[in-house]
């Protein structure tokens, strides 16, 4: 009877634990799901580019080919019109992220118990750094998984040298190093600890200990060698040399052409290669506080550090090998405080430390529970209740310290967004013409490749425009102005990046050009227009409004879309189909200058094409699809007879759209018009419309923008 009760209790406990772990993984999945569909950021565009190449090229030209090969496989076998390529390529990394949480739980459950395993897994599941890595097609979700696998592989090998444990060690070393070279730091920290643990393990003959330590080291080295084998056998001989010269023991000297340091061919000396060194305040603030612990507030940071320190003390008392592994992982950044590198450091290169802090935090929670048990010696029910309360309190602490990061959308750093360039690419795709030039000013880090990728996507069905566009790159605004001194016959689109760190042209371009679109001052699209004249004034509803007859039902409102700024006209329509109501909801524009730019009245001329362009958004008030916006032209011909012609009407257009209407004398206007004006609005259906950027040009197609600031 006792055995039956014990078995039933065990099964119940296992079911509860399985439900708890499942709930944790589902929660982690839901936390990561919202970011899966966002546009690609600049490094993900590189991944998308590799996914288009063949496997041989991937293995030949990548030192760490695992991630590009995974992307290629996803695109090759699972590509679908229903799923965007960037979302498809992120799916394996979502799985890798959840697998990292599961591995952490399983390994610690076996080693320390349920409470520390759950606390550590919850730490990693809610860590914004890991959430962000699970939502992007890059290296770092796999880096977390391989780091956790390596830690538990070392522990298992030190516990018992079995073939299965050695295979796990080999797999962890291969996976980590074939994914990213930063795993070299993790392997260099963990492998010596495991080898030393085997070498000094008590109760085993010395020769056997030496043999086991050597076998362990050889298997780890074989895993690393298997990961690097493709680059040694397939790539050119200089690739690995270039990789390892990223490290330098001192500040880089100026580039020299001659072996003896003298310049060759009287060329000016090349600038010194820029070097980088990690400093302790930066590591503490940006790496430890912001990324690995996500505890920006001083109180949260202090509590998080105390928990980690308590966990280290608990492990020293209970599991010294695991404590040594954690200490080794927490020191992998120390060399970078002492040496210079040609590649700047990133918190992601040391992401194994996030795994270490997760384990130490879980151990700290276990230490608190053990200390409480020693002080009060409660019964089994009280211990269970205490563990539940402790876990709940820790979960509340994580919520308080990390909820602000999630609520403010700061899971991704600004550089892990598309910088607003997907919308800018859509603007160019909609409004550019063959022969236009697209220029990027300041191309540091290659952020402009986002625009190039999405423009290629949008123009996939327009090969004439795609191959009719010209591209240019300039380091500074001065270089651009020297190359493009004046407007030509085609439009020049200029993309700049405006973050405060790399303020590339935001202020400089603003003195002479106009912003067409920008996204929270991340990217801006400027236009150096062609030689053309806008015959209207006030079409932006900001400058020259005295030339516009505003309707009674209209008002000027702030324009605050994600990519447009300024003011626009908003007109509310009552829905009464009468002439009086139509007049009260119509804005009138009359030309104030000729096609040559001289002031004065303008006349419609035979054999000349005109284009009316504008931005429009409409909203209907009921299901009746009656037009809420209309455009017509009216005036007098040379005989003094009046004319009025409808040009356009629309019901609902839920988002801002760019429209171009063609006015051709003899087709939709009199052959010889005298004075004329253009009416916009006055629909018969109830609703509202917003209007902006109205311009009239004596050209067969529209210029993309007026000289108004946006």
Domains defined along the chain, listed by start:
2-236+275-407 (no CATH), 418-528 (3.40.190), 545-697 (2.60.120.260)
- Does the pLDDT value for residue 473 go beyond 90? no
pLDDT at 237: 61
Three-point CA angle 603, 643, 568, nearest 5°:
70
Quickly count: other Cβ atoms within 10 Å of residue 305's Cβ: 17
Burial 599-625 (b: 16+ CB within 10 A, else e): eeebebeeeeebbbbbbbbbbbeeeee
**Least confident piece of the model among 95-109, 502-516, 688-702:** 502-516
pLDDT at 250: 46
- Does the pLDDT value for residue 259 go beyond 50? no
Integer Cα distance of 337 and 127 in angstroms: 25
Q: Which residue has the higher pLDDT, 51 or 408?
A: 51
Taking residues 680-709, what's their average pLDDT? 76
pLDDT at 247: 47
- Does the pLDDT value for residue 579 go beyond 90? no
Cα torsion 58, 62, 64, 67: sign: negative
- Does the pLDDT value for residue 102 go beyond 70? yes
pTM for the full model? 0.81
Integer Cα distance of 52 and 576 in angstroms: 56
Q: What is the CA radius of gyration of the chain?
A: 33
**Cβ pair 75, 51 in contact under 8 A:** yes
pLDDT at 262: 35
Closest C-alpha among 404, 407, 300, 406 to residue 361: 300
- Does the pLDDT value for residue 272 go beyond 80? no
Closest C-alpha among 532, 522, 706, 545 to residue 615: 706
How does pLDDT run across 440-466, given as a tens digit for each residue?
887 666 778 899 999 999 988 888 788
- Does the pLDDT value for residue 135 go beyond 50? yes
Distance between terminal CA atoms of the chain? Answer: 81
Angle between helices 163-179 and 140-159 (to 10 degrees): 160
Q: Tokens representing 43?
A: 């490094």
**Cβ pair 212, 161 in contact under 8 A:** yes
Q: Which residue has the higher pLDDT, 254 or 305?
A: 305
- Does the pLDDT value for residue 1 go beyond 50? no
- Give residue 537's pLDDT band: very low, low, confident or very high (50, 70, 90): confident
Integer Cα distance of 147 and 125 in angstroms: 15
Q: Tokens representing 332?
A: 């992998």
């Amino acid at each position: 009877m006792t055995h039956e009760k014990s078995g039933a209790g065990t099964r119940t406990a296992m079911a509860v634990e399985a439900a708890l772990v499942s709930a944790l993984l589902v929660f982690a999945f839901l936390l990561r799901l919202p970011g899966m569909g966002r546009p690609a950021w600049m490094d993900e565009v590189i991944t998308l580019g590799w996914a288009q190449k063949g496997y041989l090229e991937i293995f030949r030209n990548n030192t760490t080919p695992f991630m590009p090969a995974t992307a290629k496989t996803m695109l090759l076998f699972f590509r679908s019109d229903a799923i965007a390529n960037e979302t498809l390529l992120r799916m394996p990394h979502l799985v890798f992220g959840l697998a990292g949480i599961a591995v952490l739980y399983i390994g610690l459950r076996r080693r320390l118990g349920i409470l520390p395993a759950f606390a550590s897994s919850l730490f990693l599941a809610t860590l914004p750094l890991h959430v962000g890595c699970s939502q992007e097609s890059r290296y770092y979700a796999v880096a977390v998984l391989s780091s956790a696998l390596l830690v538990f592989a070392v522990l298992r090998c030190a516990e018992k040298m079995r073939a299965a444990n050695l295979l796990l060690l080999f797999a962890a070393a291969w996976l980590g190093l074939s994914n990213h070279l930063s795993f070299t730091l993790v392997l260099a920290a963990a492998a010596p600890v495991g080898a030393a643990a085997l070498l000094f393990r008590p109760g085993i003959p010395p020769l056997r200990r030496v043999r086991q330590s050597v076998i362990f080291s050889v298997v780890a080295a074989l895993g690393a060698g298997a990961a690097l084998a493709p680059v040694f056998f397939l790539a050119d001989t200089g690739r690995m040399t270039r990789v390892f010269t990223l490290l330098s023991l001192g500040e880089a000297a100026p580039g020299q052409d001659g072996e003896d340091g003298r310049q060759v061919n009287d060329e000016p000396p090349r600038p010194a290669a820029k070097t980088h060194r990690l400093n302790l305040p930066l590591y503490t603030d940006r790496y430890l506080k912001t990324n690995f612990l996500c505890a920006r507030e001083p109180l949260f940071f202090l509590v998080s550090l105390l928990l980690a320190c308590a966990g280290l003390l608990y492990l020293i008392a209970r599991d010294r090998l695991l404590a040594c592994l954690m200490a080794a992982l927490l020191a992998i950044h120390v060399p970078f405080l002492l040496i210079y590198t040609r590649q700047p450091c990133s918190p992601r290169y040391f992401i194994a430390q996030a795994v270490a802090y997760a384990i130490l935090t879980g151990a700290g929670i276990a230490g608190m529970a053990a200390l409480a048990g020693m002080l009060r010696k409660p019964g089994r029910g009280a211990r269970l209740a205490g563990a539940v309360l402790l876990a709940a309190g820790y979960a509340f602490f994580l919520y308080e310290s990390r909820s602000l990061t999630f609520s403010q959308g700061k899971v991704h750093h600004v550089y892990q967004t598309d910088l607003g360039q997907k919308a800018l690419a859509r603007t160019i795709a909609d409004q550019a013409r063959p022969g236009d030039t697209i220029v990027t000013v300041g191309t540091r880090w290659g952020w402009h490749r986002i625009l190039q990728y999405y423009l290629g996507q949008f123009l996939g069905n327009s090969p004439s425009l795609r191959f009719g566009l010209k591209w240019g790159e300039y380091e500074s605004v001065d270089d651009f102005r020297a190359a493009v001194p004046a407007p030509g016959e085609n439009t020049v689109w200029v993309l700049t990046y405006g973050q405060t760190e790399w303020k590339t042209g935001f202020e400089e371009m603003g003195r002479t050009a106009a912003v067409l679109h920008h996204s929270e001052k991340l990217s801006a699209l400027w236009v150096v227009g062609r030689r053309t004249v806008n015959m209207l004034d006030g079409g932006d509803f900001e400058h020259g409004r005295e030339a516009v007859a505003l309707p009674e039902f209209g008002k000027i409102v702030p324009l605050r879309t994600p990519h447009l700024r300024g003011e626009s006209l908003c007109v509310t329509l009552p829905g009464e189909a009468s002439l009086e109501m139509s007049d009260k909801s119509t804005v009138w524009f009359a030309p104030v200058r000729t096609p040559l730019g001289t002031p004065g009245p303008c006349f419609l001329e035979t054999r000349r094409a005109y284009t009316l362009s504008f931005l429009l958004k409409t909203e209907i008030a009921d299901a009746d699809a009656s037009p809420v916006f209309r455009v017509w032209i009216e005036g007098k011909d040379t005989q003094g007879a009046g004319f009025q012609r409808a040009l356009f009407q629309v019901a609902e257009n839920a988002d801002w759209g760019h429209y171009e209407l063609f006015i051709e004398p003899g087709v939709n206007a009199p052959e010889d018009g005298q004075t004329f004006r253009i009416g916009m609005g006055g629909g018969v259906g109830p609703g509202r419309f917003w209007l902006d950027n109205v311009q009239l040009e004596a050209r067969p197609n529209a210029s993309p923008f007026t000289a108004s600031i946006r």
